[in-house]
Amino acid sequence: MSMLNIDGQLVASALLNQQAGDVFNGILQHRGEMKAAEMQQQQQFADQQSYARLVAQYNMLADRYNFMLADNRRVDAAYSAALAEKDRLFAELAADNSRLAAEKEESRQSASEGWAKHHDALVEIERLKLKCGELLPDERKPDADL
């Protein structure tokens, strides 16, 4: 019977070794799964950090874009105001020019009428002087028209 006992002990020892091997293999498999999960978690963390950097970069670029848009709008408004002022000044100058041209024409006509009246008055004065005898017909100015 002692043989059976040794065989039982050998079988029990083999079963115990197999169970220990199964436990060890389970631990190794679990450790591998844990290592894979840890690596996946590290990869996810790295991806999250990369994503956060990209979001920060995007936000910075969006802020710069918005600032440039606002600055462009400010420049466009200033340019539009300057153009409006220039157009207003041109219109004012054109109106002044038209007014001055009208005044010049009016002055020219007035001067022409004045010279005509002056000439007519001189002619009338000479005619009256001739009529009154203050001036003899040969004493008249040669350029005077009667």
Query: Which sign, positive or negative, has the C-alpha torsion 60, 66, 69, 71?
Result: negative
Is residue 89 one of the residues assigned to a domain?
Answer: yes
Is residue 144 one of the residues assigned to a domain?
Answer: no
pLDDT digits over 48-80, tens only?
999 999 999 999 999 999 999 999 999 999 999
Rounded distance between C-alpha atoms, residue 71 and residue 20, angstroms: 74
For tokens 């007035």, what's the residue?
110
Counting the structural domains of the chain, the total is: 1
Is residue 123 one of the residues assigned to a domain?
Answer: yes
Domain that holds residue 14: 2-139
44 pLDDT more than 90: yes
Running DSSP on this structure, what letter comes out for residue 139? G
Mention every residue, 6+ apart, whose C-beta is less than 8 A from residue 127. Answer: 146
Within its chain, how far is the Cα of 136 from the centroid? 87
Task: Give the residue among 140, 142, 110 at the shortest CA–CA distance from 125.
Answer: 140
Helix H or strand E segment including 33:
helix 2-132
User: 96 versus 25: which is more confidently predicted?
Assistant: 96
What are the φ and ψ backbone dihedral angles of 142, each rounded to 5 degrees?
A: -65, -25
The percentage of the chain sitting over the pLDDT mark of 70, rounded to a whole number, equals 90
Is residue 145 one of the residues assigned to a domain?
Answer: no
Would residue 133 be called left, alpha or beta, if left means φ above 0 and alpha means ψ between -120 and 50 degrees?
left
Is residue 106 one of the residues assigned to a domain?
Answer: yes
What pLDDT is recorded for position 141? 60
Band of the pLDDT at 146, cuts 50, 70, 90? very low
pLDDT digits over 95-133, tens only?
999 999 999 999 999 999 999 999 999 999 988 888 888
Rounded distance between C-alpha atoms, residue 6 and residue 49, angstroms: 62
Rounded distance between C-alpha atoms, residue 140 and residue 134, angstroms: 11
User: 101 versus 5: which is more confidently predicted?
Assistant: 101
SS3 for 99? helix
